[in-house]
């Protein structure tokens, strides 16, 4: 078959040629050109013009131990020198075992089994499939619905997108996935009906129970939520009673509770798992990614209780996997990253620096005309930007306020990470999530 002719290049390729205007798939046409990365060290990054940037957000909440960590680079080289890839169908690998043992020990009782994949979306998919496989193994094949919060974010693959509360992406991808039922996220700042945050959170928990009843409890498999919100809610922390209520509701209806800790896990909130802040609300499954390998290699995982996995294994084995599941190189990196986190007490640093950061952002909010709210836990914080602090009205989308702040940051050597929700529906915010190695002076 002959390739169609590309009028621009005459080469026959539907994509621009080398040297053409766009070489990567894809750059939004209106986006300004980004600087070209040269190298990075600690919490700083340099572009090829020699300009230095302070990374106030760890990329998208990834680079927990900063860049250029010698121990991780050495572990990477050592593992690469032994073996980079070995099929899981044919070999066990020591790096996978060491990583799983460390994670299980850090996560504590109820998380004895660790299934390793290549990132957050894959981990979400694996958690849903494990939950489903377990239901089938228990004779509850009628359970398949996964309830989630709106807004929320659990990944970009179709299964994860189906439980990602985002009307913008539903509008495009809805027809190719089975959108799952959603319940409201318990926002604490812009609360409907001007209720106090506790009452609103109670209503949100009640909405979960009502949704389970409406759907038919025997058809509901799981409820997934970010215990401390990520970009979708701007580091939302619900009132304590919400977590306990959600746990009780899930238990009452035999629904598994899944915590998506892709952003909040691996020490970021001052605990290995954010779940530890609410011991009465222990989830059944946890998803980790991002900070667990801190950006050195792609890595994600599902933490599950021994009994759940044994049930699935007894029923014939987990019908799921990827070519790169339990990749030895990524596992060795994850193990080295967590060793560094523990040996340098970076979880303790996240707690201490998180308190300072929270206090300083409150000072910023007092002095700034546009910082409406400061929220979060540990080094997972966000500031919400508003046009009017009295009415809490967001900036009109046409002002592109948040995009402008990010641009100003880039100009001045400060890397920021922002969210402007669909048409200002929920508000807009900046994540303030520096690496866990951040110092008082750098804050």
Among 226, 284, 335, 351, binds ligand PLP (CB under 6 A): 226
CA atoms within 13 A on the CB side of 407: 8
**Count of C-beta atoms within a 10 Å radius of residue 219:** 13
Strands 44-47 and 37-41: what pairing?
antiparallel
Contact between 153 and ligand PLP per CB under 6 A: yes
Kindly report whether the peptide bond that precedes residue 26 is cis, defined as omega within 30 degrees of 0.
yes
Least CB distance to ligand PLP at residue 63 (A):
13
Among 42, 110, 119, 234, binds ligand PLP (CB under 6 A): 119
Q: What x/- string results for residues 244 through 273 when contact with ligand PLP is judged by CB under 6 A? A: ----------------x-xx----------
378 three-class SS? coil
Among 59, 60, 397, 424, binds ligand PLP (CB under 6 A): 60
CA atoms within 13 A on the CB side of 410: 16
Question: In terms of CB distance, is 209 or 384 closer to ligand PLP?
Answer: 384
Least CB distance to ligand PLP at residue 157 (A):
7
Contact between 66 and ligand PLP per CB under 6 A: no
DSSP character string of 338-364: HHHHHHTTHHHHHHHHHHHHHHHHHHH
Least CB distance to ligand PLP at residue 241 (A):
23
Least CB distance to ligand PLP at residue 79 (A):
21
Contact between 163 and ligand PLP per CB under 6 A: no
Question: In terms of CB distance, is 260 or 373 closer to ligand PLP?
Answer: 260
Phi, psi dihedral angles at 432 (to 5 degrees)? -120, 95
Question: In terms of CB distance, is 56 or 386 closer to ligand PLP?
Answer: 56
Q: Which two tokens stand for residue 412?
A: 């001045």
For the chain, give the number of residues.
Answer: 443
Contact between 289 and ligand PLP per CB under 6 A: yes
Residue located via tokens 């040269």:
38
Spatial distance between the Cα atoms of 210 and 217, rounded to a whole number of angstroms: 10
Question: In terms of CB distance, is 262 or 302 closer to ligand PLP?
Answer: 262
What residue spans of 221-294 are helical by DSSP H?
240-252
Least CB distance to ligand PLP at residue 232 (A):
7
Contact between 42 and ligand PLP per CB under 6 A: no
Is-contact 13 5, C-beta < 8 A? no
Footprint of ligand PLP (CB under 6 A): 60, 119-121, 124, 153-156, 226, 230, 260, 262-263, 289
């Amino acid at each position: 078959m002959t390739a169609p002719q590309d009028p621009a290049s005459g080469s026959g390729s539907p994509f621009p040629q080398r040297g053409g205007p766009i070489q990567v798939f894809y750059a939004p046409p209106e986006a300004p050109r980004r600087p070209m990365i040269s190298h990075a060290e600690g919490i700083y990054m340099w572009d090829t013009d020699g300009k230095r940037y302070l990374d106030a957000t760890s990329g998208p909440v990834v680079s927990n131990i900063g860049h250029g960590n010698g121990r991780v680079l050495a572990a990477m080289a050592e593992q690469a020198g032994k073996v980079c890839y070995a099929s899981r169908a044919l070999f066990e690998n020591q790096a996978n075992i060491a990583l799983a043992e460390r994670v299980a020990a850090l996560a504590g009782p109820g998380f004895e089994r660790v299934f390793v994949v290549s990132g957050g979306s894959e981990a979400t998919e694996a958690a849903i499939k494990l939950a489903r496989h377990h239901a089938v193994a228990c004779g509850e094949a009628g359970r398949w619905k996964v309830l989630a919060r709106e807004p929320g974010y659990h990944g970009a693959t179709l299964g994860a997108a189906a439980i990602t509360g985002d009307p913008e992406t539903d509008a495009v991808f809805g027809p190719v996935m089975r959108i799952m039922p959603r319940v409201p996220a318990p926002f604490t700042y812009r609360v409907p009906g001007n209720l106090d945050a506790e009452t609103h959170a109670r209503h949100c928990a009640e909405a979960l129970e009502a949704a389970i009843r409406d759907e038919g409890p025997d058809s509901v498999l799981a409820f997934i939520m970010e215990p401390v919100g990520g970009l979708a809610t701007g580091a939302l922390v619900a009132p304590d009673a919400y977590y306990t209520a959600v746990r009780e509701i899930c238990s009452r209806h035999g629904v598994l509770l899944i915590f998506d800790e892709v952003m909040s896990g691996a020490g970021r909130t001052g605990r290995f798992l954010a779940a530890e802040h609410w011991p009465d609300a222990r989830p059944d499954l946890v998803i980790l990614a991002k900070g667990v390998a801190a950006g050195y290699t792609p890595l994600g995982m599902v933490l599950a209780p021994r009994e759940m996995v044994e049930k699935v294994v007894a029923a014939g084995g987990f019908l799921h996997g990827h070519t790169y599941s339990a990749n030895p190189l990524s596992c060795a990196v994850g193990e080295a990253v967590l060793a560094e986190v523990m040996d340098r007490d970076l979880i303790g640093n996240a707690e201490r620096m998180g308190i300072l950061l929270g206090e300083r952002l409150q000072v910023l909010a007092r002095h700034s005309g546009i910082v409406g709210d400061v929220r979060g836990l540990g080094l997972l914080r966000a500031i919400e930007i508003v046009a009017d602090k009295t009415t809490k009205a967001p900036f009109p989308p046409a002002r592109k306020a948040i995009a402008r702040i990010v641009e100003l940051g880039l100009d001045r050597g400060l890397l920021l990470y922002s969210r402007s929700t669909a048409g200002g529906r929920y508000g807009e915010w900046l994540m303030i999530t520096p690496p866990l190695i951040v110092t008082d002076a750098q804050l």
